[in-house]
Amino acid sequence: MAKLLEVKNLNTGFHHEGRIIPLVDDVSFFIEKQSILGLVGESGSGKTMTALSLTNLLIDRNCRVDNGRVMLEGKEISLSDENCLKEKRGKEIAYIFQEPTTSLNPVMSIREQIEEVLLMHRTDIERKSIKNFIITQLQAVGIHNSEKKISSFPHQLSGGEKQRVMIAMAMVSRPKLIVADEPTTALDVTIQAQILTLLLELKENFGVSILFISHDLNIVGQISDYIAVMYAGQIVEFSKAKELINCPRHPYTIGLFNCLPNRIKHANVKELSTIQGEVPKAGNFPDGCRFHPRCPKKFDRCSKEMPPLISLKEDQEVRCWLY
């Protein structure tokens, strides 16, 4: 399958008093067309920073993309050219965040909010057809009674409906890539499952690719074609989802599986447990492999030298001295 997005050696740092603290460290991955890449890792591992770096959407002025290339359909996105980035954001790469409540404007109706996005990105739709387009758009993301719902304000909708509205807004411009950062984390389990189904439908029906970010490997495992596991700002494992679920390689990935209730089972996982310790804070990364203080398989070399990301076979990479 052809690649839609390619990210190479992305580095994003927090710049403070002449020091650079790495938040995203030499991150490379790709996303195929019409496919879902799950990016998983504990909270604080750098997933959101990676997502924002793709279009240099970093709000904090001290955080900067210092290095790296992002290619969409083979064409480089110039991360320093704000005009180029403005064109890509929302239009070709659309974002959905965890908290629909904070992303939606509380004093605008759903219709007004979608219309705003529409006027920005869709000059092909005539004014008189806008209302119908919005209704259809809401139907497509599973909002019932959408003729009535377009006049609602955010507080009149349920959490699941608000996230569906966010998805509808992301889809208005028919983006090539949706970056969904913890889109189901604030929702309860049944709604979570419905949103996952919706995202899978969008992939099938519209051919959109999705970067699906979650701290929950169980959810990522259900939806992804490929999975990238992130730890302390680095990718530590990347492979096809099936491969990673059947045979996780990195001790951190195995640790994440060990923490799951029995929903995903495989031979490497013996019993439910937790990974001891915590994700090190940016700026406080240990020498050697960043995971070594928590790693049950560590040996001498692990505390001294950082392992590179090595290719085990095509489309399968791991950052660990065991391999």
Ligand X SMILES: Nc1ncnc2c1ncn2[C@@H]1O[C@H](COP(=O)(O)OP(=O)(O)O)[C@@H](O)[C@H]1O
Q: Which positions from 104 through 163 interact with ligand X, judged by CB under 6 A?
A: none
Regarding 46 and contact with ligand X (CB under 6 A), the answer is: yes
Bridge-based pairing state of the strands 177-181 and 209-214: parallel
Closest CA to 304 of 279, 281, 321: 321
Q: Which of 44, 175, 183, 248 binds ligand X (CB under 6 A)?
A: 44
Regarding 60 and contact with ligand X (CB under 6 A), the answer is: yes
* Half-sphere exposure at residue 213, Cβ-oriented, CA atoms within 13 angstroms: 21
Q: Which of 13, 22, 41, 90 binds ligand X (CB under 6 A)?
A: 41
Q: 47 vs 162, which CB is nearer to Mg ion?
A: 47
Q: Which residue has the tokens 């979650």?
A: 214
# chain residues binding ligand X, by CB under 6 A: 14
Residue 219 sits at the vertex; the CA angle it makes with 60 and 201, to the nearest 5 degrees, is 95
Binding mask 17-36 for ligand X (x = CB under 6 A): ------x-------------
Nearest distance from residue 43's CB to ligand X, in Å?
4
Three-class secondary structure of residue 170 per DSSP: helix
Q: 118 vs 211, which CB is nearer to Mg ion?
A: 211
Regarding 185 and contact with ligand X (CB under 6 A), the answer is: no
Q: Which of 9, 43, 145, 246 binds ligand X (CB under 6 A)?
A: 43
Q: 183 vs 221, which CB is nearer to Mg ion?
A: 183
Regarding 55 and contact with ligand X (CB under 6 A), the answer is: no
Contacts of 33 (CB under 8 A, 6+ apart): 1, 2, 3, 4, 207, 209
* Half-sphere exposure at residue 265, Cβ-oriented, CA atoms within 13 angstroms: 4
Nearest distance from residue 50's CB to ligand X, in Å?
7
Walk across the sheet containing 19-32 and list its strands: 19-32, 3-16, 63-72, 75-77
What are the residues binding Mg ion (CB under 5 A)? 47-48
CA distance 175 to 87: 11
Q: Which of 6, 8, 14, 108 binds ligand X (CB under 6 A)?
A: 14
> Contact, 137 vs 193, CB < 8 A?
no
Contact stretch for ligand X (CB under 6 A) within 47-55, 72-80, 98-106, 313-321: 47-55
Binding mask 278-307 for ligand X (x = CB under 6 A): ---xx-------------------------
> Contact, 94 vs 199, CB < 8 A?
no
Please state, as a whole number, how many other Cβ atoms lie within 10 Å of the Cβ of residue 106. Answer: 9
Contact stretch for ligand X (CB under 6 A) within 43-51, 87-95, 128-136, 155-163: 43-51
Regarding 63 and contact with ligand X (CB under 6 A), the answer is: yes
Interface positions with ligand X (CB under 6 A): 14, 23, 41, 43-49, 60, 63, 281-282
